[in-house]
Structure 1
């Protein structure tokens, strides 16, 4: 999620078709060097890989994109249209960051989120504060947008899904949802790589109103690679949320990206960190298209520049090393599914507490004697039963029975 954005207009590259391509004039920040992206791009550039950017929409005619962006459906609605200042501001920047890392990849834009200044977002926030969300059709549609967007992207062949969104700092929207969890499982089952921003509510300043550090979804769903934001100094950006599900980190401060109104702008947040990580995943898949979600995660973790303490809840397993990750991806073996043999001790737990008990062999003489006795007893029982069933003698007719003495 982008936290602050400062306008950085390079209008000259957009005015004339005869001018130098705007991508050549794009400002270069520190992020690509920190992630070793130039070395990674010598191994792969994302060719043949589609990255779905689930966001606020992408202005696909920005000169930086050069035909590499395709627009999918608008699942959230709200009335905004391309060309308005509050349509595609966030999503355009995210698509730009993906393609800076993977220049030959393609972006599938799926609109599932409102920009911060979108009137529909403001209406939904008002409905949430008043408790009218359950009756608000616009809010109900927004609640299902992400799940629908994930399934659509999977069905359209996206190999990577980048979600620079999450539980908002003020608690509106994007919390845990059964439908979204099911959509995540659906994507993972199809072998799609999912990444999400860790969230921007992680400030340690007690006066910071956004410092709630709540659990952020979709980053917290199992199987999603949660991306934290790093500052140029190599430490956690002060807004990046702190949680045990943080997997990896990428640059998230002073990141230049395409502006939906033309030119470029600089922004902070775990949003650009997620987009940069998604671009790295695209590079990895262009080297080895059959990598599974678990393989991609494991390679990113294994090749990252780890913090001195190893894993931390601040930066996960550390800063992405794109060059090492792409190289490792190219050398990865095909994933195999097989039963793992048990290689532990003979007994589970502590095993027997004493030596096994042994018994002498059974004497068959006793078995024969017992069997004969049982047979004789059975014969006596049968005979007694037959005697009991014999009829008694009846007295002669006309003579009374003799009473007992």
Structure 2
């Protein structure tokens, strides 16, 4: 126990130095359990806020809400993706249960709304959909079509049910079919932002530089790449980018993503790696911020996370974004944030755009009122004759004897 606590303390002390090498160095494989709590300064943040009154929607593979970890803090919403799996099966809620656990370990008094929008990797429905996508069969592609709308429906449902934070530990690099960008989901993201919801997504796990790695694609991953979504990269215990974390300009911030212990859908706990737990930890931090200041806007939450992050020496980079989340600093800044005001900015530019007018304004000669009077008199006489003609035509004729 003493050795484990000593290692965790050393990790906190050496993190800033480790960020010097936070470019593309691989992550250290072994880390003490709970190291993410120490490097993110979660205990200090929890003394300022616990997430009370905040609902975090976990859009994932489902959550086993009866796990002892949750103690009544999880509500199951609808299953938008279907496929036939049911709670209790090993391929229902494996990923989502772990993500909900990571959220609540950062924000213990928050509530999780579970919305099922993706399949676990071992789900037979996922395998059928992958086979259908390869074969191009219209009949077999029905599940893939349903999967394509699940995320958009899940986002809108979560917002309408009052979720202030939406955690999406998913992406088209691993979970989706097709090109990735989707108009329905983009519209749902805009809808959520307009309602004041904070959206976070995992950056993706295809960032390996190993040519033999199956997932070493580093493609643009949605929903992380949608404007307004906070994309979360994964950091290892040494302070460097985890070797699987995708490298893109949409990366906003980083959180621990190696050896993260979380609840298992079959009971107990297990460790996992990925940008998925990094996203869940970031979502928990956002819940702490909102419990401290419920009036924060999505832009304020993003700006505070960026401003308070422990940045790489060179500032922003595509590996870790603006750096590691400092939960304590973020929650303190959230408490001090003031209401935002929207007002028009005065124009201070030139009088004309471009070169301005090229010639003097055109002028016309004044109207000769004599012609107006003559014309008006003629029109009046004409109307008088017309009226007399009408009256003569309507005059009764004399009857013949």
TM class by shorter-chain length?
0.7 to 0.9
Aligned residues: 340
Match of 2:51 among 35, 40, 46: 46
Match of 1:210 among 191, 206, 215: 215
Which sections of structure 1, spanning at least 5 residues, go unmatched? 1-26, 359-369, 379-405
2:397 aligns with none
1:178 aligns with 183
Q: Which has the larger radius of gyration?
A: 1
TM-score relative to the length of structure 1: 0.78
Match of 2:142 among 127, 137, 141: 137
Which sections of structure 2, spanning at least 5 residues, go unmatched? 1-31, 372-401
1:12-43 deviations in Å (ceiling 9; x for gaps): xxxxxxxxxxxxxxx94210111111100000
Aligned partners of 1:271 and 1:134: how far apart in 2? Answer: 32
1:77 aligns with 82
Match of 1:338 among 319, 337, 343: 343
| 1:133 CA drift (Å) | 5.7
Aligned partners of 1:78 and 1:189: how far apart in 2? Answer: 32
1:118-160 deviations in Å (ceiling 9; x for gaps): 0000101111111226862111111110011001000100000
Q: 1:160·1:282 contact (CA, 8 Å) conserved in 2?
A: yes
2:395 aligns with none
Q: 1:162·1:274 contact (CA, 8 Å) conserved in 2?
A: yes
Match of 1:270 among 270, 275, 279: 275
Matches within 5 A, 1:1-400: 28-132=33-137, 136-169=141-174, 172=177, 175-342=180-347, 346=350
| 1:191 CA drift (Å) | 0.5
1:150-191 deviations in Å (ceiling 9; x for gaps): 010001000000000001349735811111111111101101
Aligned partners of 1:72 and 1:239: how far apart in 2? Answer: 31
1:364 aligns with none
CA RMSD of aligned residues (A): 2.8
Aligned partners of 1:347 and 1:245: how far apart in 2? Answer: 38
Q: 2:129·2:140 contact (CA, 8 Å) conserved in 1?
A: no
Q: 1:134·1:140 contact (CA, 8 Å) conserved in 2?
A: no
1:76-112 deviations in Å (ceiling 9; x for gaps): 0001000000000000000000000000000000000
Aligned to 1:310, what secondary structure does the other structure show?
coil
Aligned to 1:266, what secondary structure does the other structure show?
strand
TM-score relative to the length of structure 2: 0.79
Q: 1:307·1:318 contact (CA, 8 Å) conserved in 2?
A: yes
Aligned partners of 1:278 and 1:210: how far apart in 2? Answer: 25
Aligned partners of 1:244 and 1:236: how far apart in 2? Answer: 14
Structure 1 residues 235 and 348 mapped into 2: Cα distance closer, same or farther (>3 Å)? farther
Q: 1:228·1:249 contact (CA, 8 Å) conserved in 2?
A: yes
Aligned partners of 1:131 and 1:93: how far apart in 2? Answer: 33
